[in-house]
Amino acid sequence: MKLTRYQGNPILKPREENEWESKAVFNCAAASENGKVHLLYRAIGEYEKYISKLGYAVSEDGFNFKRFGEPVFEPKESYEPHGCEDPRLTRIGDTFYITYTAMSKRAFSGSGNRVALASTKDFKSFERFGVVLPDMEDKNAALFPEKVNGKYVMFHRIMPDILIAYSDNLTQWAGHKVIMRTRKDSWDCAKVGAGAPPLKTEKGWLMFYHGVDGKKIYRLGVALFDLKDPAKLIARQDEPILEPVEDYELHGDVPNVVFVCGAVEKDDSYYVYYGGADKVIAVATVKKDEALDFV
């Protein structure tokens, strides 16, 4: 499968008039609810400290988004003084859970990344559950939309591979095990990370992920995991489904990056939301009946 870019990309750009989102808006979480698409996006308003806050936008058609104007979620706890990065959204019942990277050290320092959890019902007020993987240098956590075999399930990344973990209560996680590795001599040889929270299909859990090569080019890939045993990888496409080609993917604050944190099912397609060059937000789609042709 390949993703098809929306002609009107990028769908969100930095906004000069709002300081907190004046420099970059990128890597966004996505969730659908009654036909609407909700986005929680990462926003940068200054380069000195590079502290990320989260903004909110909503759309009826998945392409045209209305922005809220103020950050809805920003660092305030002792475990995240340097930012809240790369959120993922998972709707369970009437609650949206947010997994994100809590930055206890400066951005780009290469350490102090922890997986934190929060929730909201309205994108106005948020409940925080704190750091849920406390002893791990970790990021890219994506929570499944339902329990499997009576347990909550999450993918996360300890360099350079993707792991699975299980929980009874969403805050304590165990059973960590590598489920998808980097591939030698491939576009995803240096590191891989779960992208969007897995989507349920008849054939398995569909996961969009990012892979990085030795030249730091970020591309998107796709994999399918067993419905009853999500630790079991059923299929993984050899070729990427999207790679930096367009100007807004090649040039920005970090060049050559497409980075996915959210995808939703809408009508007959999957809408995949991704950050372009750590600067803007774009969307690409695939028809549902073509999405599993790699299996």
Is residue 86 involved in binding ligand BMA (CB under 6 A)?
Answer: yes
**How far apart are the C-alpha atoms of 50 and 83, rounded to whole Å?**
8
Tell the smallest beta-carbon distance from residue 259 to ligand BMA (Å): 4
Q: In what order do the strands lie in the sheet with 280-287?
A: 4-5, 280-287, 269-276, 258-266
3-state secondary structure of 246: coil
Give me the phi and psi of 21, to 5 degrees please.
-125, 30
By CB under 6 A, the residues from 160 to 219 that bind ligand BMA are 218
> Nearer to ligand BMA by C-beta: 163 or 257?
257
Tell the smallest beta-carbon distance from residue 52 to ligand BMA (Å): 8
Interacting stretch for ligand BMA, rule CB under 6 A, among 126-134, 151-159, 160-168, 252-260? 252-260
Number of other residues whose CB lies within 10 A of the CB of residue 79: 15
**How far apart are the C-alpha atoms of 54 and 42, rounded to whole Å?**
5
Is residue 254 involved in binding ligand BMA (CB under 6 A)?
Answer: yes
User: Which residue in 138, 188, 249, 278 binds ligand BMA (CB under 6 A)?
Assistant: 278
By CB under 6 A, the residues from 14 to 33 that bind ligand BMA are 27
Tell the smallest beta-carbon distance from residue 140 to ligand BMA (Å): 8
CB-based contact 278:28 (threshold 8 Å): no
Tell the smallest beta-carbon distance from residue 279 to ligand BMA (Å): 10
Side chain identity at 250, as an amino acid letter?
L
User: Which residue in 275, 283, 285, 291 binds ligand BMA (CB under 6 A)?
Assistant: 275
Number of other residues whose CB lies within 10 A of the CB of residue 60: 11
> Nearer to ligand BMA by C-beta: 87 or 204?
87
DSSP alpha helices (H): ranges in the chain? 247-250, 288-291
> Nearer to ligand BMA by C-beta: 40 or 148?
40
Please calculate the CA angle 56-60-61 and round it to the nearest 5 degrees: 110
**How far apart are the C-alpha atoms of 216 and 11, rounded to whole Å?**
24
Is residue 257 involved in binding ligand BMA (CB under 6 A)?
Answer: yes
Is residue 85 involved in binding ligand BMA (CB under 6 A)?
Answer: yes
Tell the smallest beta-carbon distance from residue 210 to ligand BMA (Å): 8
Which residue of this chain has its Cβ atom nearest to ligand BMA in the complex?
Answer: 254
Q: In what order do the strands lie in the sheet with 84-92?
A: 84-92, 95-103, 113-120, 126-131
Residue ranges that bind ligand BMA, judged by CB under 6 A: 27, 85-86, 218, 254, 257, 259, 275, 278
